[in-house]
Amino acid sequence: MSVKAEDINEKTPWQDLTEGLQIHEPATSRGFFTGEWRTETPVWDREKCSQCLLCVPYCPDSCIPVQEGRRQEFDYDHCKGCGICAKACPFGAIRMQAPEE
């Protein structure tokens, strides 16, 4: 299940932010849209994908949703663009793309 932007209220008052924006409690990553930190974006080629799902457990941010045994499009709200999924894919179905300037 992917969290949508409209489902989360990111209006934390600045007084409630921790020094250095450190997270002191577990399981809060879905509450923050960290995808904007990305310097490269993974691009999924459906034609090359064999649906082996090897990329899914490698994603440290769980940004590759699976429904009915098939992977879906990336959760770009939370993907940080680390590229691990592209390295894990044996079929070259994921490539990293730099932002267009």
At 11-65, the pLDDT tens digits run 777 777 777 666 666 556 666 778 888 899 999 999 999 999 999 999 998 999 9
Residue 22's pLDDT is 66
Q: Is the pLDDT of residue 10 over 50?
A: yes
At 68-90, the pLDDT tens digits run 999 999 999 999 999 999 999 99
Please indicate, yes or no, if residue 65 is contained in any of the structural domains. yes
Q: Using 50, 70 and 90 to split pLDDT, how confident is the model at 101?
A: low
Domain containing 74 equals 52-80
The tally of domains found in the chain comes to 1
Please indicate, yes or no, if residue 2 is contained in any of the structural domains. no
End-to-end CA distance of the chain: 32
Please indicate, yes or no, if residue 42 is contained in any of the structural domains. no
Q: What's the CA gap between 76 and 101, in Å, rounded?
A: 19
Backbone angles phi, psi at 58, to 5 degrees: -80, -25
Residue 100's pLDDT is 78
pTM of the model: 0.69
Residues with Cβ within 8 Å of residue 92, at least 6 apart in sequence: 45, 48
